Amino acid sequence: MGGGQREVGEGSNVKANAKRRRRTWLKRKEKWLVVLGVVLHAVYMLSIFDIYFKSPIVHGIDLVTPRFKAPAKRLVLLVADGLRAEKFFESDSEVKFRAPFLRSVIEEKGRWGVSHPRPPTESRPGHVSIIAGFYEDPSAVTKGWKANPVEFDSVFNRSRHTFSYGSPDIVPIFCAGLPHTTWNSYPHDFEDFATYCDYYCFFSSPSTLMLTLYQFVCVNADASFLDECSFDQFKGLLNRSKEDPKLKELLLQDNLVVFLHLLGCDSNGHAHRPSSSIYLNNVAVVDSIAERVYNLLEDYYRDNRTSYIFTADHGMHDKGSHGDGHPSNIDTPLVVWGAGVKHPKPVSSSNHSDCGFRFVDEHMHETPTPTEWGLHGIERVDVNQADIAPLMSTLLGLPCPINSVGSLPLDYIDMIKEDEVEAVVANTKRILNQFLWKSQTKQSNSLYFKPFKPLGDYSSLLDKIEDLISIRDYAAARKLSEDLQVLALQGLHYFQTYDWLMLMTVIILGYIGWMTYIVLHVLQSYTSLAGYMFRKEQADHQTDNTRKEHSPPLYHSYTSMTVFLWTQIFSEYRFIKALWKELYGRRINYFAKILATGIFSVFILEFLVARSAYEGNKCWLSICNHDKKQPKFPMLFQLQALLIGLSSVMVSISTSRRTQKQELLALHQITNWSIAGISIVLPLFSANGLLSRLTSLFLGFAPTFLLLSIGYEAVFYGALALTLMAWILVENTFIYSSKVNRLPSSFNNMEDNVILDGRYLQLSDVRIPLIFMVLFNVAFFGTGNFASIASFEISSVYRFITVFSPFLMAALLIFKLFIPFLLVICVFSAITKLNRLPRLGCYFLLILFSDVMTLHFFFLVRNTGSWMEIGNSISHFGIVSAQVVFVLLLFAVTNMYTKDVNIGSADRSSRKAM
């Protein structure tokens, strides 16, 4: 009898020790698996930059020295930021044109057309394409806005000296690192989006003109004074040269560039819309500045050796935004006149020989000129925006920037036929040099190199061009050179996308391997399969994994990571074999249930990609019950309701002052900051019942969200809160109504249960991570997303800050976007507690589902279009890919709100009764 008891006791100890060892193994393995997931997703997330966003910039290419005489000694570049072509060319209601001086230039002195930027139509890429001649990779904006993330060549680099004045966001990009430049910009404080009049008085030694402008600005809240500031600084430079011999000598040199960046139209367009009188008056201001610059320089030099270019970096949509490919954003004015520029030419049938050509913005060549522009009879020459850089280089007789992909618009240049051909050949050779450099680099780094066959005999084509020039057949030489240039551009694109197929194959296999490994882990660790299928085999397998958990190094190669994953999968062959034996004997309806669940799950996930009576008081116990202690703050809900009302009042006051163009007082800002800070802390003092705590959370984040909202977002917040509350009630009702059926399976074989914080997962539990994915997606799209911050209304942060501060503004917007995520995570944590589900098991299912979406979003990443389109595609891929870390971090942040939530004992009481 005693021996039998000892045997039973020893058997129990063996089982307890085995269970303890398995729990320890499971804990270690999951730590390793989380680390592996973080590393894998971080490495694979970077792959889009090697595939879709590889920089077009190359270094070390030889310059192509022009073989023609420079038509001009100096060049003036005037860029009216945000000036829309339609508003510039059309007449006003009184049939008067808004830019009379430049209108006279078009009719009497120079050439005109429409410049077509390539989306994203933003200031930085627009100026890069104008000045450097290439379309900068959109990822450059993530590496720095104030200075060049990667040094690139530009017209300014090639000049003898550049004089530049304008916005502190644009001028330093091109001039801060150049030794041969003189530049200046106004302070950032001048770009106050709420009011402009309070800062203009800070000019040192204001002139009479500036004081007059100050009065004008105070009355009209007009940003055109920024343009006047740039002009005034340039005028001061010329005045100083009369007393500074060295400056005078420098100004008399050749190969000089003057750049004036005129920000007024952009600021006024954002603040007042392009149809406003303030924006339209600003068009007249930039026209006046162009006239004054022209008169100043012509009077200063008196040699007719100055070229002038007036254009814009992008246009402006009717709603005061830009960035996408809307015609109002991609149609910008271009007016060129002065030394080396052709005079106006009447329209004739021979002017439209290139009607099949498409520009980078997909506009057809020579689209009809609107009648309201009144320019039908004067030849219009449209260009791609990157064509302006080789135009400037040719006028000054300088080598083109080495990364330029623009074509030389010969219809603007007044040169003899021989020099025209030489200019085209120089431009072609520069693009060809880029192609050859990329071809050689790729050949030296590839095991199996596939050349670009159409340019296999480029050297013979160059020789033929030289022969045609030598026999003075300039038309044929020009045609052959232009054809060679087209092939070189195609070759550049070929090598820009050369590695796509290989990299995408490796990444796809990697994601499939990771998802397969996650499925195997969940089946092994969080289902009852491992508990009764093969205990002995699993014990052997524990030893193998314990030995292997220290072996995986930090992988920096996509291929190595993919190979490693599939190696880990194959190492689970014992479990896979046993799983196959177990499933082989199941009935057909079991597989039908699994298939139906899988199809439904994939359908829900793909839908997100495409987007995005209770039975009595007992069922409320688990979510309403809390400890018997007195609440820490008895009047908490009343105080939170008061803060919501106060925040609504502050929203009304702030909006009213902005509508009246009045500055937001410091008292208002302090009040808003105080309301936001206090309201976020208050939920920590609420009762610890599930419903009480979550209600307090919804109320606690509402004031901050309201203060950062300008429209429908407030309604969205309320709708999301109600939806989350409904989810809790539905889950609680489901648990109570199916309690009798669920309890036996939930607590079956509890002595074998090694899960640390809950019960085994069942097939029906898949609904919870799926619903979470739906709500997480709703939170993502409800008010915008991280990539579209640039397209948000800047007034979202006016109640906290009005002076332009990009980092603080971005932080406020990001926090606003985080609030819905925090609410969803809090409710998800509560529901896992309510269902007694292992939170890590649900976490791995979330990662599995998110990676199905990640793989789809991987194919939807865009590298062309607006910032919003590009950013959305990146953020969709990045957010779902980063959920392996993102969700864990949100769990940690929200844990301080949910860690002491008391679920109640209704479920446990039922278990004891059974």
Residue 842 lies in a domain: yes
Cα–Cα distance between 427 and 418 in angstroms, integer? 14
Other CB atoms within 10 A of residue 39 CB: 17
Cα–Cα distance between 480 and 619 in angstroms, integer? 83
Report the C-alpha dihedral over residues 115, 120, 121, 127, rounded to 10 degrees: -70
* pLDDT bracket for residue 542 (50, 70, 90): very low
The 3 state secondary structure assigned to 194-229 is: CCCCCCHHHCCCCCHHHHHHHHHHHHHCCCCHHHHH
For residue 513, give every residue at least 6 positions away whose Cβ sits within 8 Å of its Cβ, in sequence order, or none: 562, 565, 566, 568, 569
**How far lies 640's CA from each of 679, 702, 818, 821, in Å?**
7, 9, 20, 21
SS3 of 533, please?
coil
Whether 687 contacts 630, CB under 8 Å: no
Residue 662 lies in a domain: yes
Q: Which of 364, 391, 414 corresponds to the end of one domain?
A: 414
Report the C-alpha dihedral over residues 618, 624, 628, 632, rounded to 10 degrees: -170
* pLDDT bracket for residue 749 (50, 70, 90): very low
Each residue of 631-640: pLDDT tens digit? 566 678 888 8
Residue 455 lies in a domain: no
Cα–Cα distance between 184 and 168 in angstroms, integer? 8
Other CB atoms within 10 A of residue 909 CB: 12
Size of the chain, expressed as the number of residues it contains: 914
Among the residue ranges 341-350, 450-459, 563-572, 786-795, the one predicted with the least confidence is 786-795
Cα–Cα distance between 770 and 767 in angstroms, integer? 5
CB-hemisphere CA count at 13 Å for 205? 3
DSSP-derived secondary structure letter, 902: B
The residue ranking higher by pLDDT, 324 or 378, is: 378
**How far lies 450's CA from each of 435, 443, 844, 868, in Å?**
14, 8, 42, 35
Cα–Cα distance between 153 and 137 in angstroms, integer? 15
Whether 122 contacts 332, CB under 8 Å: no
What pLDDT score was predicted for residue 794? 60
Tell whether the model's pLDDT for residue 745 goes beyond 60: no
655, with CB counted inside 10 A (0-12, 13-18, 19+), is: middle
Cα–Cα distance between 70 and 396 in angstroms, integer? 5
Q: What is the DSSP code string of 607-655? A: HHHH------GGGGHHHH---SSPPS-TTHHHHHHHHHHHHHHHHHHHH
Each residue of 327-376: pLDDT tens digit? 888 899 999 999 999 999 988 755 544 444 555 555 555 578 888 898 88
Residue 133 lies in a domain: yes
Tokens found for residue 784: 């915008």
Residue 59 lies in a domain: no
For residue 737, give every residue at least 6 positions away whose Cβ sits within 8 Å of its Cβ, in sequence order, or none: 615, 619
Q: Which of 395, 414, 433 corresponds to the end of one domain?
A: 414
Handedness of CA 598, 603, 606, 611 (dihedral sign): negative
Residue 169 lies in a domain: yes
Structurally, how many domains does the chain consist of?
A: 2
Report the C-alpha dihedral over residues 837, 838, 844, 847, rounded to 10 degrees: 50
* pLDDT bracket for residue 310 (50, 70, 90): very high
Tell whether the model's pLDDT for residue 686 goes beyond 90: no
Among the residue ranges 346-360, 659-673, 689-703, 753-767, the one predicted with the least confidence is 346-360
Whether 148 contacts 175, CB under 8 Å: no
Cα–Cα distance between 264 and 81 in angstroms, integer? 7
Q: Report the pLDDT averaged over residues 536-540.
A: 44
What mean pLDDT, rounded, does the chain reach? 77
Cα–Cα distance between 705 and 722 in angstroms, integer? 16
Cα–Cα distance between 65 and 81 in angstroms, integer? 32
Which contacts (CB < 8 Å, 24+ apart) does range 555-562 have? 555/39, 555/43, 556/43, 557/43, 558/43, 558/44, 558/47, 558/503, 558/506, 558/507, 558/510, 559/506, 561/39, 561/40, 561/43, 561/44, 561/510, 562/506, 562/507, 562/509, 562/510, 562/513
Where residue 384 sits, what CATH number does that domain have? Answer: 3.40.720.10
* pLDDT bracket for residue 868 (50, 70, 90): low
Token pair 């006279």: residue: 104
What residues pair up with 91 in beta bridges, in sequence order?
97
* pLDDT bracket for residue 538 (50, 70, 90): very low
Among 26, 35, 4, CA closest to 884: 35
For residue 420, give every residue at least 6 positions away whose Cβ sits within 8 Å of its Cβ, in sequence order, or none: 410, 413, 474, 478
Tokens found for residue 883: 């959920």
What pLDDT score was predicted for residue 104? 94
Helix axes 558-570, 2-51, angle to 10 degrees: 150
The residue ranking higher by pLDDT, 289 or 808, is: 289
Whether 309 contacts 391, CB under 8 Å: yes
Backbone angles phi, psi at 337, to 5 degrees: -155, 170
* pLDDT bracket for residue 148 (50, 70, 90): low
Cα 898–chain centre separation: 32
Other CB atoms within 10 A of residue 480 CB: 19
Judge if the upstream peptide bond of residue 120 is cis by omega within 30 degrees of 0: yes
What pLDDT score was predicted for residue 412? 95
Whether 75 contacts 258, CB under 8 Å: yes
Token pair 């066959």: residue: 453
Cα–Cα distance between 734 and 740 in angstroms, integer? 11
SS3 of 360, please?
coil
DSSP-derived secondary structure letter, 109: T
What pLDDT score was predicted for residue 510? 85
The residue ranking higher by pLDDT, 430 or 201, is: 430
Residue 573 lies in a domain: no
Cα–Cα distance between 16 and 23 in angstroms, integer? 10
Backbone angles phi, psi at 63, to 5 degrees: -75, 150
Tell whether the model's pLDDT for residue 279 goes beyond 60: yes
What pLDDT score was predicted for residue 607? 59
Question: Residue 2, by phi and psi: left (phi above 0), alpha (psi -120 to 50) or beta?
Answer: alpha
* pLDDT bracket for residue 12 (50, 70, 90): low
Note down the domain range covering 791: 587-740+756-899
Whether 831 contacts 751, CB under 8 Å: no
What pLDDT score was predicted for residue 429? 92
Percent of the chain surpassing pLDDT 90? 26
Other CB atoms within 10 A of residue 473 CB: 14
Residue 232 lies in a domain: yes
What pLDDT score was predicted for residue 744? 40
Q: Which of 74-88, 715-729, 883-897 has the highest mean pLDDT?
A: 74-88
What pLDDT score was predicted for residue 263? 92
